[in-house]
Structure 1
Amino acid sequence: MTTTAVLRKSDDIEVTGDTPSLVERIAAVARTDLSPIALEIDEGTIYPDRALRHLGDVGAWSAHADLGETIAGITTIGETCGATAFMAWCQNTLVWYILNSDNAALKAKYLSDTASGKLLGGTGLSNPMKSFFGIEKLKLKGRRTDGGYIVRGALPWVSNLGPDHMFGTIFELDDGSGEKVMFLADCADENLSLTPCKPFLAMDGTGTYAVQFRDVFIPDDQVLAAPAMPFVKKIRAGFILMQMGMGLGLLRDCVAIMDSVKPSLAHVNCFLPQQPEDFAGLLAKMEAETMMLAATPFDTSNAYWRSVVELRLRAGDAAVAAAHATMLHCGARGYLKSHRAQRRLRESYFVAIVTPATKQLRKMLADNAREYQGDQGGA
């Protein structure tokens, strides 16, 4: 059967032909590689690099010609493990940067290895994304030198990293010009250090580190874009839309958990204000909207950008609401550490706070509305 971008519940997937679809291949790896270790990933005793490479083997990181397929794959992973769905977003975002760069030397050197999962990594855009909207100052500074740049500074949170990984981020030139450069950082560089973060509420096995740059040389074949801002505008919708996979996967599993307790608890759960059918309807609507927006990720219109931001905002709100309802539907059994309902509740807060977080998304919409009104007034 042919690969499609249709979002489907992985438990219902059946291989009906000789060639399984991308979602089917990813679902099979999730069942064999992720389900047995999801609790250990959550607790931080395992960073699932072998599973991430296996997912690369089946094509999970190489579907960006159809962004909908990429999101469908992350969603399928998210049904099993929210932490790995986040790492899937990190890996796919790294590939997204490289794929859309105009640097031919960079593409030739890194695209194949990242898309196949041979080279793992992530995205260090949390601080830059916040800086663009006046929330933080940009933490990395750089200067031009022969054949590249020298970069100094520190990023407090970068995920899906390890000693042989890479990630994309942004520095500002220290010459007062304000120009920004987006680049790939190599964790193996002797002048770049990784410091493990303090334990998290959930998702501890995501390879998240504080990263220190001490005069790190960035050669020209690691420069994604200079200047960076036109490139950021190009890739930003895909960056945000791929996060939908985390929220949609979590929502799917929450509906499944609530349905699973119906046989024993429907007689009392019927008095709860939110039912699995409510979230199933919301899920279907959000899936359809995600696929529609993913079909045109390079649309530069203001209306399109607002639709992407508004959808991502709703995904965070829906994830928290669905996980909360799931806990209430499960009752005491969901309160056990061994039950995934409580893991889903903790994971849902991450969907709401990962950059761009709920508060940043609301600020982005407010800023955008003011800018648009100003442009209209000036016209």
Structure 2
Amino acid sequence: MHEVGKTRLDGEFSDWVVAAAHDLDTGVESPSTVLPRLASAGLAGAGVPVALGGSGGDVVDGVAGISVVAEESLAAAFVLWSQRTYIEFLLQSPNKQLGEKLLPDLLAGRLAGATGLSNAMKFLAGLEPLQISAGAEGDSLVLSGKMPWVTNLRPESFHVAAAVDHADGGTFIASLAHDDDGLQRSNDLSLLGMRSTNTAAIKLSEVRISAERVLHPDAGEWLPQVRPAFTGLQCGMSIGLARRAIAETAKSVGAGRNVLSPQLSAVTQRLTQAESRLSAGLRSREFEVDAVSLFTLRIELAEIVSEAISLELQASGGRAYLSGPGRDFARRWREAAFIPLITPSLVQLKAALLERRQDAA
């Protein structure tokens, strides 16, 4: 059993995620099973106040939960990231009534929480315009636009956070529901791996919502506040996958592959140091004013994953390329290929950092 913050993963969940990892990646396992399993293990409530139905702690405990799941399945961890991030948005939203309404079902896994704020985070970094616009009609806000890639869109029931460009010139964050008139969910995207994640696109055609669905009236003010949790929880996926690749490498080092020991030691130390910096930055809230350090850390963790999975391949040798013995490695290789693409992607983050350096110069 693992300890995740104040949440202890029971053997039933551990057994399931280990057995289901390959099928979660290929889509054989039904996506509808993932969120209830995560919720029943208490993972959705890691870092959520006890008074609100969680297990206590803070966002660092949420990162730890995602990390331990990512050791076994990045697909399951990706779903958990989406759920836990949406929950974090509710925790940090001034709209407490919406949180009181949705949190019980989110923590129980009856309702999926999705974040369509990848576009917003890129908008905040100056990388692209917002893709959803709104006008006002009476007491309603009328939204149109698209979200081309959103995870955890369980057809049964979901809420998704979206950044919206208002006709009056302002921007705000709204929460949209699966059954809103005018909201159309595509079929699940045909991904290379991580198929059982309910990842799809959303099209909005004059979707009407009330002010009760506004998570925050000022996106420019709120996004820097929630970006550390959004990105920090993402980093949990890299931490868990790197940790597993390092552990697999360590099993083979010594079987004629001692030459890899110095690299293994170095990447292990880098991972430990990066985890410590992430936890410290989240708890001190320094990332709210120092986005450069947060972006740099996200990039570094992705590089650590790449190095760790390469070491696992070298340590495993030819058996990693056999379909039977190498099946779990092949899945981790595909998972590692996804890490740089998680929005904002590494290319986008590096472009944002370069622009900031040029502005400073």
TM superposition score normalised by structure 1:
0.85
Which residue of 274, 294, 307 maps to 2:293?
307
Residue equivalent to 1:168: 161
Which residue of 35, 44, 49 maps to 1:61?
44
Which residue of 229, 232, 243 maps to 2:223?
232
Residues 90 and 96 in structure 2, CA contact (< 8 A), matched pair in contact too:
no
Structure 1 distance, partners of 2:16, 2:31, is: 9
Structure 1 gap segments, 5+ residues each: 1-9, 14-19, 375-379
Pairing 1:333–2:325 present? no
Residue equivalent to 1:5: none
Which residue of 145, 149, 161 maps to 1:153?
145
Residues 330 and 341 in structure 1, CA contact (< 8 A), matched pair in contact too:
no
Q: 1:53 Cα deviation (Å)?
A: 2.0
Partner SS state of residue 295, structure 1: helix
Residue equivalent to 2:108: 116
What percent identity do the matched residue pairs reach?
26
Structure 2 distance, partners of 1:239, 1:27, is: 27
Superposed CA deviations along residues 100-152 of structure 1, whole A, max 9, x for unmatched, are 11012212211232233231121111222223334333211111233331111
Partner SS state of residue 243, structure 1: helix
Which residue of 42, 46, 49 maps to 2:25?
42
Structure 2 distance, partners of 1:255, 1:27, is: 24
Partner SS state of residue 8, structure 2: helix
Structure 2 distance, partners of 1:130, 1:207, is: 22
Partner SS state of residue 166, structure 1: strand
Pairing 1:367–2:355 present? yes
Q: 1:22 Cα deviation (Å)?
A: 4.5
Partner SS state of residue 96, structure 1: helix
Partner SS state of residue 142, structure 1: strand
Structure 2 distance, partners of 1:309, 1:29, is: 36
How many residue pairs align between the two structures?
A: 349
Aligned partner letter, 1:255: I
Residue equivalent to 1:283: 271
Structure 2 gap segments, 5+ residues each: 49-56
Deviates more, 1:355-364 or 1:335-344: 335-344
Structure 1 distance, partners of 2:18, 2:197, is: 16
Q: 1:191 Cα deviation (Å)?
A: 1.9
Which residue of 330, 333, 357 maps to 2:345?
357
Residues 141 and 152 in structure 1, CA contact (< 8 A), matched pair in contact too:
yes
Aligned partner letter, 2:336: S
Residues 281 and 287 in structure 2, CA contact (< 8 A), matched pair in contact too:
no
Residues 22 and 59 in structure 1, CA contact (< 8 A), matched pair in contact too:
no
Pairing 1:32–2:25 present? no
Structure 2 distance, partners of 1:273, 1:57, is: 39
Q: 1:30 Cα deviation (Å)?
A: 4.2
Residue equivalent to 2:89: 97
Residue equivalent to 1:223: 214
Residues 22 and 58 in structure 1, CA contact (< 8 A), matched pair in contact too:
no
Residues 29 and 55 in structure 1, CA contact (< 8 A), matched pair in contact too:
no
Partner SS state of residue 118, structure 1: coil
Structure 1 distance, partners of 2:109, 2:225, is: 24
* Root-mean-square deviation over aligned CA pairs: 2.2
TM superposition score normalised by structure 2:
0.89
Residue equivalent to 1:136: 128
